[in-house]
Amino acid sequence: MSALLVSPLPLAGLMAVERAKRGDARGFLARLFCAETLHAAGWTKPIAAINHTYSALKGTLRGMHFQHPPHAEMKLVTCIRGEIRDVALDLRAGSPSFKRWHAETLSAENGRAMLIPEGFAHGFQALTDDVEILYCHSASYAPEAEGAVNAFDPAFGITWPLPVSVMSDRDKGHAMIDDSFRGIVL
């Protein structure tokens, strides 16, 4: 069996990634990234950055973030402690799933990750206290390319399972889209 199993999710290009854990009396080993396996799923660039986030409180909400071209990025999101509801929102201009979202429960226990294509916004809500996430990015952070949409914008209708306990002022302040929003042209 492969160390990573990649399977499509309902939005084009969005993938679930399952890790096989191999364990013995010492503990376990689980592969987080395999260039060969993920290349077949669309990850064709080197890893440009790996970020680690910690959210102390259940209900913490982060998102919905993306980067504009030419710094658009793929993300591989893995929960290494606790549990999250991970949300990917398709903002690709001309996509058949434009403005649609998909959520997966990722946890240290279930070993699932989500591979998010360029042109998607990403966010998550902590379902437990003490959540840690690792993100592999296909592009470096570029402040001038930073983009975000409001996690509560009715144009998207994203449902969050818990009341929000903590959210940055910056994320709260992201604008709602209007009728002129045509998406991200990749």
What is residue 3's predicted lDDT score, i.e. its pLDDT?
Answer: 82
Considering the chain, what percentage of its residues have pLDDT values greater than 70? 99
Tell me, yes or no, whether 185 lies in a domain. no
Confidence tier at 16 by pLDDT (50, 70, 90):
very high
How far is residue 36 from each of residues 39, 41, 46, measured CA to CA in Å? 5, 9, 11
Mean pLDDT calculated for residue range 42-54: 96
**Residue 63 domain-assigned?**
yes
Q: Is residue 3 part of a domain?
A: no
Give the pLDDT of residue 30.
86
Q: How confident is the model at residue 1 (pLDDT cuts 50, 70, 90)?
A: very low
pLDDT digits (tens, 9 = 90+) for 147-166: 999 999 999 999 999 999 99
Query: What is the average per-residue pLDDT within 169-186?
Result: 96
What one-character DSSP code corresponds to residue 52?
A: E
* Alpha-carbon gap, residue 55 to 130, rounded angstroms: 6
Q: Is residue 176 part of a domain?
A: no
Where is pLDDT greater, at 40 or 10? 10
Looking at residue 2, what is its pLDDT? Answer: 64
Q: Identify whether the C-beta of residue 136 lies closer than 8 Å to the C-beta of residue 80.
A: no
Res. 22 pLDDT band, cuts 50 70 90: confident
Domain count across the chain = 1
DSSP class per residue in 116-183: E-TTEEEEEEESSSSEEEEEEESS---GGGEEE--TT-TTT----SS--S---HHHHTPPPP-TT---
Domain CATH code at residue 138: 2.60.120.10
Q: Is residue 181 part of a domain?
A: no
- Asked if residue 82 is part of any domain, the answer here is yes
Decide if pLDDT at 169 tops 90.
yes
pLDDT digits (tens, 9 = 90+) for 59-103: 999 999 999 999 999 999 999 999 999 999 999 999 999 999 999
Question: Which positions are catalytic?
Answer: 65, 135
The answer as to whether 179 is a domain residue is no
Residue 131: domain span = 11-21+30-149+157-170
How much is the pTM? 0.95
